Amino acid sequence: MKVLVTGGSGYVGSVLTNMLLQKGFQVKVIDFLWFKKDIPLINLNNPNYEFIKGDVRDSKLVEQCLHDVDFVIHTAAVVGDPASKKYPEITKEINLVASKNLINLARAKGIKGFFFFSTCSNYGVANSLATEESELKPLSLYAESKIQVEEFLINEVNDLDWIIGRLSTVYGSSPRMRFDLTVNDFTLAGFKDKKIDIFLPESYRPYIHVYDLANVIINLINNFEKTKRNVFNIGFNGENYQKIQIANAVKENISDLNINILKEGGDTRDYQVDFSKLYNFIGLKNNYNVGNAVKEILYILNNGLVSNPMLDCYYNTTPDL
């Protein structure tokens, strides 16, 4: 199978691309390389890999990229609440307009299947365990844009088979590393400052390691006849964590860590998510949890595998978009 991965050099996309290649897929990537520029070098000598530097807003280029492709995995987006707040117009252009255009081009090309990256942030604040049928309460433009594309796929697209994946908050190491994600951020703060600042420490969110996420997506694609035209919460039962639990996981590895509770902050999301549907379809269990991911990030930092974790390329709100 030949797969087009939009944003395939990003935090999730680069890990997913590498795993697809390992599993025997042919992979074509389109990415503008807003962040780290050298990610394609990892695979350029692989005959099953093709890289196109380009913008998903470029309709002509996207149409060319869809030639001889069986499946599209659409990861390209302005990702996260802070980034969408900082770049609202670009968020609408990429997350909404370009996504709908890509879907329509895939329909016209007769693509076999389409995987859309959505987010569990769609639930916003939930008083009970959120299933795929729960009310959506977006608290950011990021979540709103994802919901609008979900609705487009569900209500208007009958000639293209799709999967919608509502992702847990991702963590762990990647060729295009990010230090603005909660687990990675808290671990870096503990390493660098011996202090973690937390707003709403008892608020919950689900979390998933980037490796586990890539593994889930490939399993959903490999079982596409069974999984198509479904919405899935992407994560694992038992992997909903309070912020204070993540901070305490860091403290287990940095004994002199100070945890500072803030009275004010911007992120009010608070939801726990049920992942039973995903497990019932593909039966996967997680390889990682927050505890061993903290050790993974500390290993990276202690061994200088990221020489300067404060560089702009490791944060989604800092590039010149």
Angle between helices 290-302 and 182-193 (to 10 degrees): 50
Give the C-alpha distances (Å, rounded to integers) separating 30 from 27, 38, 152, 215, 299.
Answer: 10, 14, 23, 21, 31
Contacts of 125 (CB under 8 A, 6+ apart): 137, 139, 268, 269, 270, 271
pLDDT tens column, 15-46: 999 999 999 999 999 999 999 999 999 999 99
pLDDT band at residue 321 using 50, 70 and 90 as cut-offs: low
Is 229 a residue whose pLDDT tops 80?
yes
Q: What pLDDT does residue 265 have? A: 87
Q: What pLDDT does residue 87 have? A: 93
Q: What pLDDT does residue 266 have? A: 83
Going along the chain from its start, the domains and CATH numbers come out as 2-171+207-234 (3.40.50.720), 182-206+239-275+287-314 (3.90.25.10)
Q: What pLDDT does residue 320 have? A: 64
Q: What pLDDT does residue 318 have? A: 78
Q: What pLDDT does residue 52 have? A: 98
Q: Give the C-alpha separation, 164 to 158, whole Å.
A: 14
Average pLDDT over residues 59-79: 97
Give the C-alpha distances (Å, rounded to integers) separating 247 from 80, 154, 199, 238, 288.
Answer: 21, 38, 12, 17, 17
pLDDT tens column, 150-163: 999 999 999 999 99
Average pLDDT over residues 159-182: 98
Q: What pLDDT does residue 92 have? A: 97
Q: What pLDDT does residue 250 have? A: 98
For β-strands 169-171 and 113-119, DSSP reports them as unpaired
Average pLDDT, the chain: 97
Percent helix, strand and coil across the chain, each rounded to 5? 40, 20, 40
pLDDT band at residue 214 using 50, 70 and 90 as cut-offs: very high
